[in-house]
Amino acid sequence: MRIGHGFDAHRLEAGQRLVLGGVNIPCDKGLVAHSDGDVLIHALCDALLGAAGLGDIGRHFPPGDASYRGIDSRILLRRVVTMLNEQSLTISNIDITVVAEAPKLATHIPAIKAILAEDLGVEPDRINVKATTTEGMGYTGRGEGIAAHAVTLLDEY
Ligand code: MG
């Protein structure tokens, strides 16, 4: 078994799309990034790469590379899954926490899980997604950004 952890945070700004876990979420602000800013998927990619001993998302998909400008982070996630397959690694389970003061994410979590399950090639019951606030404290609490933490367990076969 191999365990991995990932963390990411992005700034929120008006006039941007908010995409979390591949789901477009209605919000008056969205995440600023070189890619689509999907902080949830970025944290997940880093957890998977970390568990596999393959470095991090920035090493495989450099933000300075123009080919990744505005890219759908699901494409990056699927490429990470291919890397895991090449290393004979399968996903045992994933646990993700999104830290956001707003919007409320509970109603979007089933759709996020379905998308992640599809891209990862695992059953949705192996994926847990939850959301929390920081009670108004810090950059997430002030609505300046959204952060995400991910933990995963991989099995070698
Ligand atoms: Mg990121």
Rounded to the nearest whole angstrom, what is the distance from the C-alpha of residue 42 to the centroid of ligand 1?
5
Cα–ligand 1 centroid distance for 59 (angstroms): 12
- Interhelix angle 39-52/109-120, rounded to 10 degrees, is 40
Region 46-73: mean pLDDT is: 94
140 C-alpha vs ligand 1 centroid, how far in Å? Answer: 15
pLDDT at 63: 85
pLDDT band at residue 64 under the 50/70/90 scheme: confident
Q: Distance between CA 121 and CA 102 in Å, rounded?
A: 30
Q: Which amino acid makes up residue 90?
A: T
The structural domains of the chain, ordered by start, are 2-156 (3.30.1330.50)
Q: How far apart are the CA of 37 and the centre of ligand 1, in A? A: 6
Distance from Cα 40 to the centre of ligand 1, integer Å: 8
